[in-house]
Amino acid sequence: MWALKPDKLEEGTRRGTAGAFAATTVAFFIAEIGDKTQIATVALAAAYSNLPAVVAGTTAGMLLANAPVVFLGKAFSDRLPLTAMHRIASALFLIIGAVFIYRAVHHAP
């Protein structure tokens, strides 16, 4: 149900001066802690002695994988029907939640 109500910036809300880039960088770093990419980076760093090359390679790989999605998302964000997408996302969350509850109840020992 939460997906039906989009976030809004409230009046008087203080916004940081660092901008969207810094906020995205910090949020991405926090979200990716413990991700399989970072685990793979640690494994590669342990296997190879050139740590800067490993870190640069994994960082470049993440940028190559994510940059097109960010730019395409920005390009399509104005053209997509956000209300319909919120409704579809909400319906999918409800369906998935109902399926998991059903499976948990009927498969309980």
Q: What is the pLDDT of residues 26-66, one digit of tens each?
A: 877 777 766 777 788 888 888 988 889 988 888 888 888 88
Two tokens, residue 57: 């390679």
In a domain, 12, yes or no: no
Element (H, E) at 92: helix 82-106
- What is d(CA 6, CA 90) in angstroms, rounded to the nearest whole number? 11
Instruction: Based on the fold, state whether residues 26 and 73 are members of the same structural domain.
Output: yes
Residue 64 lies in a domain: yes
pTM above 0.85, yes or no: no
Question: CA torsion 41→43→46→52, rounded to 10°?
Answer: -10
Indicate if 71 and 85 belong to the same structural domain. no
Q: How many domains does the chain have?
A: 2
> Which residue range forms the structural domain that includes residue 39?
20-78
Whether 24 and 69 map to the same domain: the answer is: yes
Q: Does residue 5 fall inside a structural domain? A: no
Q: Are residues 91 and 102 in the same domain?
A: yes
Residue 99: its pLDDT value, please?
Answer: 94
